[in-house]
């Protein structure tokens, strides 16, 4: 779906850069979802820099906010792992996921902006990181024995269990990426439609309200499931 009005695209157009997608590498790197993805990354980085620039014993302002966020994430992961060391290993990735997806989702509610997460490429990229992370963690914690996780409990059933496990993991990849993408893009399409049909009479307002909830919920779901999969890969075998 082509967005009617995107600020970053207009700015890039004024600079003479290809801002609406295309075949060349530059056009692909500057497609609308990429622009807003860069913006979301920029917001995350600026928040982190503002929070850590002047560290004080008694936090205030942005530092206070970010400390609260990191503390909440840490406690949340700790509840699942019950192990400080494992928590600290996955904490940075998970906090980044939460922050990036949250910022990306909420960006779509501002007129003139779009959610980078309303594009399958972005969510599939996030999912690829999450999936690769938990397999790497599994290999790191179990060495070569990680393959036993795929073999099931009974040795003679292993040749049958292996493909089943493979497909259950592929199902995870698809469900993780397509859910986030689907929710975001459906919200955008619904908003666009309602705005075109009955924009002047505040018709999109209920959907916007629903969108506020869905944005938070979807970011949270991605975050929780990444943690659950990582914890499961790090746990002792079946």
> Using an 8 Å Cβ cutoff, are 127 and 173 in contact?
yes
C-alpha–C-alpha distance, residues 31 and 20, integer Å: 5
Examine residue 210 and tell whether it contacts another protein (CB under 8 A): no
Examine residue 170 and tell whether it contacts another protein (CB under 8 A): yes
Site size for another protein, by CB under 8 A? 23
Residue (76 or 134) nearer to another protein, CB: 76
> Using an 8 Å Cβ cutoff, are 44 and 96 in contact?
yes
Indicate which single residue of 3, 20, 142, 179 sits in contact with another protein (rule: CB under 8 A). 179
C-alpha–C-alpha distance, residues 49 and 42, integer Å: 10
Residue (20 or 149) nearer to another protein, CB: 149
Indicate which single residue of 68, 128, 166, 198 sits in contact with another protein (rule: CB under 8 A). 166
C-alpha–C-alpha distance, residues 76 and 79, integer Å: 5
Examine residue 221 and tell whether it contacts another protein (CB under 8 A): yes
Which token pair is 100?
């990036």
Residue (160 or 189) nearer to another protein, CB: 160
Q: Please report, as residue ranges, which positions from 26 to 85 form the binding site for another protein (by CB under 8 A).
A: 76
> Using an 8 Å Cβ cutoff, are 227 and 94 in contact?
yes
Part of the chain binding another protein (CB under 8 A), chosen from 14-22, 33-41, 111-119, 213-221: 213-221
User: Quick check: helix, strand or coil at residue 224?
Assistant: helix
Part of the chain binding another protein (CB under 8 A), chosen from 19-27, 100-108, 115-123, 157-165: 157-165
Residue (7 or 220) nearer to another protein, CB: 220
Dihedral of alpha carbons 207, 208, 209, 212, sign: positive
Residue (76 or 113) nearer to another protein, CB: 76
Residue 93's H or E segment, with its range, is helix 84-107
Residue (139 or 173) nearer to another protein, CB: 173
Q: Other CB atoms closer than 10 Å to residue 93's CB: what's the count? A: 17
Residue 160 CB, nearest approach to another protein (Å): 8
Among 182, 179, 188, CA closest to 3 = 188
Binding site for another protein (CB under 8 A): 76, 160, 163-172, 174-175, 178-179, 217, 220-221, 224-225, 228, 232
């Amino acid at each position: 779906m082509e967005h009617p009005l995107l600020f970053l695209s207009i700015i890039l157009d004024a600079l003479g850069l290809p801002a609406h997608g295309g075949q060349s590498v530059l056009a692909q790197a500057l497609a609308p979802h990429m622009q807003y993805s860069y913006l979301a990354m920029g917001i995350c980085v600026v928040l982190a820099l503002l929070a850590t620039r002047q560290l004080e014993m008694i936090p205030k302002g942005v530092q206070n906010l970010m400390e609260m966020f990191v503390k909440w994430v840490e406690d949340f992961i700790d509840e699942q792992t019950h192990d400080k060391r494992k928590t600290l290993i996955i904490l940075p990735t998970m906090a980044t996921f939460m922050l990036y997806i949250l910022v990306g989702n909420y960006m779509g509610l501002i007129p003139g902006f779009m959610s980078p997460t309303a594009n399958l490429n972005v969510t599939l990229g996030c999912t690829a990181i999450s999936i690769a992370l938990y397999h790497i963690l599994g290999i790191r914690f179990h060495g070569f024995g990680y393959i036993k996780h795929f073999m099931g409990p009974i040795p003679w059933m292993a040749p049958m269990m292996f493909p089943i496990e493979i497909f259950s993991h592929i199902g995870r990849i698809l469900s993780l990426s397509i859910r986030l993408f689907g929710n975001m893009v459906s919200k955008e399409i619904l908003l666009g439609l309602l705005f075109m049909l009955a924009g002047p009479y505040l018709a999109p307002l209920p959907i916007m309200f629903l969108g506020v909830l869905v944005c938070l919920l979807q970011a949270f779901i991605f975050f929780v499931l990444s943690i659950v999969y990582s914890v499961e890969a790090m746990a002792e075998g079946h």
